[in-house]
Amino acid sequence: MNPKTKLGLFYFPDDQHYHARERDKWIPELVSLGVSWLVLTKEDLIAIPEPFIQTLLNNCITPIIRMVNLPANTSKPPSEFELLVKTYADWGIQYIQLFDRPNNLSFWDLKSWAGNNLVEPFIDLFLPYAEVLIKYNIRPVFPCLEVARGFWDTAFLRLALESLKRRKHYWLIDTLILSGYVHLYDPSRPLNWGAGGQERWPNSKPYQTSPDSQDQRGLYIADWYQALARATFGKPLPILLLDDPACKPYDLAPAEIQQRTFHAIQRLLHPRSTEVIEIEGTRYEPLAEEILCLSFCGLPANDTVSESRAWYSLSGEPHPLVKKIKAYLGPNIDQNQHQHRIPHALLLPQLDADQLHDLLDKLKPFIIQYQPKITFTLEEAFEAGHVWIPAGSGLITEKEINAFEDHFCVIHTINPDGISIASQTNEPALEVP
């Protein structure tokens, strides 16, 4: 069974893809991709079919149910809501997100929007629904907020968290999950925009960001939200990150969109999760450790704009990004017929005895750390998830690199003199002590 990752996807928003044929097509594909979280959005109070939920859970994929269109003009949740929650709890659901974008005009009527404070009325609305979830041991997920628009999201979240503390709702604080929309596709902001949060960018204010400052509109939004949680509760809270379905990619070519997606996944899933890494010349700091997942809009939608960031065509054919993701994850993910028997292989050129002894002596720190299988043939190297090749050896051609990708191998080059390592698949450089 696949190990748990922080990689998530939005599932199809319609009801047609819960049927057995679609379930049997897509869930094995998600497993092979290393997806461990699946966002399921429902506009009504009708349950997602139990066989679909159970198949996810049996494959170690955690469902996140999004109830974005709940009744908001009532003092308590309708009875069918509690019945649905009980059903989901019986099936093993752990996370339900309540509402969506309460800091946006579209959530409110004009009279309410014009009022002095939207936060307290929303908390009054949110609490009874959250109480039902906790009654059945389901973690309530605070809604994603519209980022940097409407009622500024960081200001809204700060007031909401302070309201919970002031009301002494510790029963909710101890189980609450935060969530945030991640903006990945704005060419005016690099992907590492906003790293470090408010502490690093103290001049960033709601509705204004000075030219020498940065804000929460990027991959590092959790840094900004966690700073608010720590300031209010003295501790961070778990958080789910979602690629905003309504935030269409800006003027980026499809290849640029796929590249940004892949770089975000590299940072999310990199084995050195607590260290600064470099991807194609850009430094990426660690993501907040409280992030449970980052879920992408990777499955095809029925409109041409969303298709630009989909990982599959409308007919279900994978785009090149899918192969890159599978190759990057390497032996950690079950690739059906593409399982790797060994984690690392060192592919060496044919050398005489003295040259081979000298090369292995230089590579001794690397060999001690990674303990690779040493081989001189491509066929044996295909058995490894990560294949290491001495720089300048001229061992493989472009065609052979493609063959390694077809076997879901990640190719690295290693400089024996400096013991520095780089990847043929855009993986950041590694250092071997």
Residues 327 and 350 in one domain: no
Residues 97 and 216 in one domain: yes
pLDDT of 342 reads 80
Whether residue 2 lies inside any domain: the answer is: no
Residues 387 and 284 in one domain: no
Question: Which one of 298, 332, 366 terminates a domain?
Answer: 332
Whether residue 346 lies inside any domain: the answer is: yes
Range of the domain at 269: 7-332
Residues 285 and 368 in one domain: no
Whether residue 1 lies inside any domain: the answer is: no
Question: Which one of 332, 359, 374 terminates a domain?
Answer: 332
User: What percent of the chain has a predicted confidence (pLDDT) above 90?
Assistant: 63
Q: Return the top range by mean pLDDT from 285-299, 348-362, 415-429.
A: 285-299
Mean pLDDT of 131-151: 97
Whether residue 156 lies inside any domain: the answer is: yes
How many domains is the chain built from? Answer: 2
Mean pLDDT of 350-355: 87
pTM: 0.77
Whether residue 136 lies inside any domain: the answer is: yes
In this structure, the strands spanning 37-42 and 430-431 are unpaired
| CATH code of residue 115 | 3.20.20.80
| CATH code of residue 402 | 3.40.50
Mean pLDDT of 257-272: 94
3: confidence class by pLDDT, cuts 50, 70, 90: low
Residues 324 and 406 in one domain: no
Residues 140 and 226 in one domain: yes
pLDDT of 314 reads 86
Mean pLDDT of 74-93: 94
Residues 217 and 276 in one domain: yes
Whether residue 137 lies inside any domain: the answer is: yes
Average pLDDT value for the chain = 88
335: confidence class by pLDDT, cuts 50, 70, 90: very low
Residues 325 and 356 in one domain: no
Model confidence pLDDT, tens digit, residues 361-403:
888 888 887 789 999 888 888 888 788 888 766 667 777 776 7
Residues 344 and 273 in one domain: no
Residues 285 and 345 in one domain: no
Residue 420 has pLDDT above 60, yes or no: no
Whether residue 203 lies inside any domain: the answer is: yes
Residues 228 and 355 in one domain: no
Residue 71 phi/psi, 5-degree rounding, is -60, 130
Residues 174 and 228 in one domain: yes
Residue 1 has pLDDT above 50, yes or no: no
Whether residue 132 lies inside any domain: the answer is: yes
pLDDT of 391 reads 76
Question: Which one of 332, 359, 392 terminates a domain?
Answer: 332
